[in-house]
Amino acid sequence: MNAEIITIGDELLRGEIIDSNKARLAQRLMLLDVDCRHQVSVLDDQDDMRDVFLRAAARSDVVLVSGGLGPTRDDLTTEVLAETFGRKLELDPASLAAIEGFFARVGREMADVNRKQAFFPSGADVLANPIGTAPGFALAVPRRVDGTVDGTVDGVGAGAAGEVVFFSMPGVPRELDRMMDEQVMPRLARLLEARDRAAVSGAPRRVVRAALLRTFGMGESTLEAELRDLARDGEVELGFRTAFPDNSLRPVARAATAEEADRRIAEVVRAIRAQLGPVVFGEGEDSMESVVGRMLRDAGRTLATAESCTGGLIAERVTDVPGSSGWFLGGVVAYSNRAKSSLLGIEPALIEREGAVSEPVVRAMAEGARARFGSDFALATSGISGPDGGTATKPVGLVWIALATARSTHADSFVFAVDRSRHRMLTSQVALDWIRRSLMGEPLVGPSLMRRAGGSSAPG
Amino acid sequence: MNAEIITIGDELLRGEIIDSNKARLAQRLMLLDVDCRHQVSVLDDQDDMRDVFLRAAARSDVVLVSGGLGPTRDDLTTEVLAETFGRKLELDPASLAAIEGFFARVGREMADVNRKQAFFPSGADVLANPIGTAPGFALAVPRRVDGTVDGTVDGVGAGAAGEVVFFSMPGVPRELDRMMDEQVMPRLARLLEARDRAAVSGAPRRVVRAALLRTFGMGESTLEAELRDLARDGEVELGFRTAFPDNSLRPVARAATAEEADRRIAEVVRAIRAQLGPVVFGEGEDSMESVVGRMLRDAGRTLATAESCTGGLIAERVTDVPGSSGWFLGGVVAYSNRAKSSLLGIEPALIEREGAVSEPVVRAMAEGARARFGSDFALATSGISGPDGGTATKPVGLVWIALATARSTHADSFVFAVDRSRHRMLTSQVALDWIRRSLMGEPLVGPSLMRRAGGSSAPG
């Protein structure tokens, strides 16, 4: 089954908003093992819309349309779909009542234009919108053999094979998501079942299961090399997704039954974890900070921070985790040398002699924070994130990171040749990863792709 | 002139990444007054790609293609464009040297597969990529009269009117942006000039100028009402763009000459600023933190922070501004009550009596930070960002913000009924806005849309 996604709106074509609807719809199609072969965006323009609808009816089995269901004159989806496929517009009294009810609930007066949203092409199946004024609809039309470029309608269905189903949904993301999940996904599942039953020959449709494994510290090409054997298994497909500074792995397993697909995806997740060890830091919606928080909470340990170049980013990330007050005691952003001395108790002479970006100072910062906050762990960072401030011996990109624990203080330096924002993000990621690795008894390493500037670990 | 944008890659069709390339390309087309009528995404599939290329050559004058220029077997753009329009692939020795140079510069060995990236369709105009391995290219092909659905190539150019120019660019956003700005935009401008000269009849193309005004504190509907009269002027179009917590205004002016368009856009920017006053905090690429930083630097003043609920977000935002070490002295993330006392000198009895989220404590935090860091300004936040931790008198969403200056301490409270991340972002935005308003002599207010919980200002 081939699917197509069409998003409608001048604002998309002008680049005024980034269209995330297509990605969210496509992800859901993947879970049903429906191939999305085409994605199209089109202006609120009658001729252009007719053209893309005709073309979709010629090449796709299912067409997800988002947008153009509002009450204004620019909102043309219903009208153009009806006209393109030779349907009349009919009032659905139940939808009109629902729209009136919506306005009553939010305490606003319903404008006359909103009546328009209760009209649908004849034969359409209305899709309820419990959180907005625009109901959607499903419309099955005969397949077209050809989609012409000039937009003329040359009659529908001559010699066509089967039907094409259009699902027209609102463009507002949360309304779209809910309608897709509650109304469209079950209908798609039924369409797929009917197709399987009708299939005279060929393999039945397969069940799909996907996982998402979050990794840090290994480049995409290294990951690919490490997992080459897994990727060779025809039953499992392995996708890579980079969202700096993480690389995520997305294994997708297909099988004849749900049980078999579940077994396969569990197996591949186990195999990936066995191969990559601590490089995998989480699954699904996990972030480095949420994983670190969970581990600290479970271990009954606490954290404090002393940040220079990361400027509060580590503290900001960990406090973004709900419940972080249980294990994060606080931090100091010691941007000036005076703050390093007055708030963390670092000897001004040490800073003078070694420089703020140095191993002795970053160690003293971590140990000072640990003492002042009374935490089990303390992280410190000091570096030159750029774009200015580098010297011959301390180039832009150099950073020292330290982790103080009850037993010892570990410090290491890196040169991250990336821009200021990425430098700060990467530094905070390595620092947080050290907490995780420390709690797992793993060596405190940095990302394999970044040139390491030196380092040492000594009792502190 | 009609433009079309085609983005290529399986990851887009699977919804694994949100495609922001299309929006950024479309924005740039708008600046040249080029209409973008179609946006299409397609799999790394030879037949599908051929089909969309043919269709684009039938309906568009300019086609921007992004993606599929990498070294792997999945990267098919160059090959399919050449095949579709009957061109041979030819090695460009200069590009090969540039790719070899790129690998030498980053200290990595060039793989054999990268040689492929130095081949281009015959007759193509190579577009340099100074920051990646994939050069782009421009390829002019005769217009097609028809794009067939089944993807067969039925010969090119029969009876076609004029040429269609394909610009093939890499999919990596920063490489794409740079190539579009440096290589494609000047070529498009020349194409437009040539078209204007060749035009026998019809009005000449209009010059477009756009501006971006960043506002904070006023909801979109209020902004629309405030600016209703401006929007009525037919020569100026006013767009709205929300990127939480800001609402941006995007006036677009069109005129016959560059001078006239410049004059119009300057006039509308002046009118908007006059109407909205301090609600406009910046233009173009300005962020609240960059504006606050510039104002502090220009005024020779310094800032420190004492954050509880924002957890380092204010410090993180201000230190993201290059050069912030000149005016940001540092901050304390006083997440625990112990940290509030030991690092900011707040009496434990005060916290005990009033609670951490209270006016006296937030005032003491701001004044404590100002004293300890020796700064001119100090900001403090204390609130309940949720999802848990609320009580009947102090609900989730309540936040106290304080600004201490040499003259006085201002404190106010708000209830922001948004999720944890937005609560923290909005709180940090109001706090930073107070610095800006204080330096401008404007009243320290909060966002108009949020329910205010109370407040007071007293000498501190």
Residue of A nearest to B335 (CA): A330
B207 CB-side CA count, 13 A: 12
Question: Which of B316, B387, B420 shows the shortest C-beta gap to A312?
Answer: B316
**How far off is chain B from A410, nearest CA to CA, in Å?**
23
Q: What is the mean pLDDT of residues A35-51?
A: 94
The reported pLDDT for the residue numbered A302 is: 97
The reported pLDDT for the residue numbered A455 is: 36
Residue A412's pLDDT band (cuts 50, 70, 90) = very high
Q: Which residue type occupies B198?
A: A
Using CB atoms within 10 Å of the CB of residue B364, give its burial: 0 to 12 exposed, 13 to 18 middle, 19+ buried: buried
Query: Which top CATH class is A297-458?
Result: alpha beta
The reported pLDDT for the residue numbered B233 is: 62
Cβ contact (<8 Å) for A332 and B322? Answer: no
Question: Which of A241, A312, A343 shows the shortest C-beta gap to B312?
Answer: A312
DSSP letter for each residue of A128-165: --TTSS--EEEEEEEPPS---TT-----S-TT--SEEE
Local mean pLDDT, 10-residue blocks, chain B (460 residues): 94 87 91 89 95 94 95 91 96 93 82 89 95 92 62 34 90 94 93 74 70 89 82 73 82 86 92 94 93 96 96 95 93 91 93 95 97 96 88 91 96 90 94 97 77 36
Long-range CB contacts (within 8 A, 24+) of B385-389: B385/B309, B385/B420, B385/B423, B385/B424, B385/B427, B386/A322, B386/B419, B386/B420, B386/B423, B387/A322, B387/B419, B387/B420, B388/A322, B388/A323, B389/A325
Q: Determine contact: A250 vs chain B, CB below 8 A.
A: yes
Q: Determine contact: B16 vs chain A, CB below 8 A.
A: yes
Residue owning tokens 């625990």: B336
- A230 near A272, Cβ under 8 Å? yes
Cβ contact (<8 Å) for B332 and A331? Answer: yes
pLDDT digits (tens, 9 = 90+) for A266-300: 999 999 999 999 999 999 889 999 999 999 999 99
Least confident residue range of A192-206, A324-338, B386-400: A192-206
B258 CB-side CA count, 13 A: 2
Interface test with A, best of B316, B384, B423 (most A CBs within 10 A): B316
- Going from N- to C-terminal start, the domains of chain B cover 2-198, 212-283, 293-458
Residue owning tokens 């749900």: A258
Which residues, numbered 354 to 373 in chain A, qualify as contacts with chain B under a Cβ-Cβ cut-off of 8 Å?
372-373
Q: Determine contact: B143 vs chain A, CB below 8 A.
A: no
Cα B85 to the center of its chain, rounded Å:
36
B24 CB neighbours in chain A (<8 A) are 15
Cβ contact (<8 Å) for B15 and A24? Answer: yes
- B8 near B171, Cβ under 8 Å? yes
The reported pLDDT for the residue numbered B203 is: 58
B40 CB neighbours in chain A (<8 A) are 38-41
Q: Determine contact: B319 vs chain A, CB below 8 A.
A: yes
Query: Which top CATH class is B293-458?
Result: alpha beta
Question: Which of B16, B55, B334 shows the shortest C-beta gap to A250?
Answer: B16
pLDDT digits (tens, 9 = 90+) for A54-99: 999 999 999 999 999 988 888 999 999 999 999 999 999 999 999 9
pLDDT digits (tens, 9 = 90+) for A119-134: 999 999 999 998 888 9
The reported pLDDT for the residue numbered B432 is: 98
- A62 near A191, Cβ under 8 Å? yes
**How far off is chain B from A18, nearest CA to CA, in Å?**
6
Task: Report DSSP state, residue B117.
Answer: G
Domain A207-283: CATH architecture, name and number where available: 2-Layer Sandwich (3.30)
**CA A443/CA A390 separation, integer angstroms:** 30
Contacts of A100 (CB under 8 A, 6+ apart): A110
Domain B212-283: CATH architecture, name and number where available: 2-Layer Sandwich (3.30)
Residue of B nearest to A5 (CA): B13
What does residue A60 show for φ and ψ, rounded to 5 degrees? -125, 160
The reported pLDDT for the residue numbered B377 is: 98
**How far off is chain A from B43, nearest CA to CA, in Å?**
6
pLDDT digits (tens, 9 = 90+) for A226-241: 888 876 666 788 887 7
pLDDT digits (tens, 9 = 90+) for A344-368: 999 999 999 999 999 999 999 999 9
The reported pLDDT for the residue numbered A425 is: 95
The reported pLDDT for the residue numbered B329 is: 95
The reported pLDDT for the residue numbered B146 is: 56
B342 CB neighbours in chain A (<8 A) are 372-373
**How far off is chain A from B44, nearest CA to CA, in Å?**
10
Q: Determine contact: A313 vs chain B, CB below 8 A.
A: yes
B44 CB-side CA count, 13 A: 15
Cβ contact (<8 Å) for A338 and B311? Answer: no
**How far off is chain A from B267, nearest CA to CA, in Å?**
22
The reported pLDDT for the residue numbered B436 is: 97
Question: Which of A149, A318, A322 shows the shortest C-beta gap to B146?
Answer: A149
Percent of chain A exceeding pLDDT 70 equals 91
Out of 3.30.365.10, 3.40.980.10, 3.40.1190.20, 3.40.50.300, select the CATH number for domain B2-198.
3.40.980.10
The reported pLDDT for the residue numbered A123 is: 95
